[in-house]
Amino acid sequence: MIRENVTKTGCNESKSADASDFVTLLRRRGIVREPEHLTVQAPVLETQGTTILAFKFADGVLVAGDRRATMGNVVMYERTEKVFEVDRHSVMAIAGSFGAAWETARTLQHSFQFYRRSQLQEMSVEGKVRALAKLLRDNLGMVLQGVGVVVPLFATYDTASSDPAKVFFYDAMGAHFEATDFAASGSGGPAVRSILYYENAWGPTPLREMDTKSAITTALRALDTAAEADTATGGVDRLGKIFPIVKILDQAGVTTVPHRELAALFQGGDQS
């Protein structure tokens, strides 16, 4: 009976749809219906991390990230780590899905370590940048499903280069770009980029000419300002005495700025 019905109405249906697609024709006539549970997708709430920044200054590269992790409109944790040392001269900062980002950072660490031990030399900067890009491309399947999005920053100090300070930013599909002076990512990224652009173009000292203390103070102020407009950014928690993670890359390697130094510089900035 279905075949007869389709035969009689095939000419009319072909005017509005492709009658050669038998399943589509049955759906249009209501003979076949999709199960309701397939059309309803429950939202997946992920733990997300923002905001991160990196910029070049007189002594190398500064990379910083706030400490807040969120799930939707809920603050999950206020002391997260978003800036990871992946080798002696490279740092990865993460924004986006924490689960995917942490796994990406760990895989990158092992990849660099394996290359160094097997080849008895450091991986080139180009190799490091593309290794991270490949991990992001491998994660594209999750991204297309709406979960697992990671938009990191990668900074390294290439001692063999005439311009050793390097900062790269990525999109979720693995496209990478080298920043001239600074980069930022995460929900507070637009505010941070505006602040760094202002400091670089109109401030008393361009970013590349700042000393270490000035660079740290600028990073703290940028994250604290971003937190005023973006609830997902933790900034500086004065009451809880929680400060962003700040790492410095220079010829000596990677250095984590201690909490007491961050507090002293930020309080000094407040007093001024």
Active site residues: 50
Distance of CA 269 to the CA centre of its chain: 28
Contacting residues for 162 by C-beta, under 8 A, at least 6 apart: none
Q: Which amino acid belongs to residue 178?
A: E
- Tokens representing residue 85 in the block: 């040392």
Residue 118 CB neighbour total at 10 angstroms: 8
- Tokens representing residue 37 in the block: 């549970």
Mode of pairing for the β-strands spanning 90-93 and 83-87: antiparallel
Distance (Å, rounded) from C-alpha 81 to C-alpha 75? 15
- Written as one string, the DSSP assignment of 152-164 is -EEEEE-TTSSS-
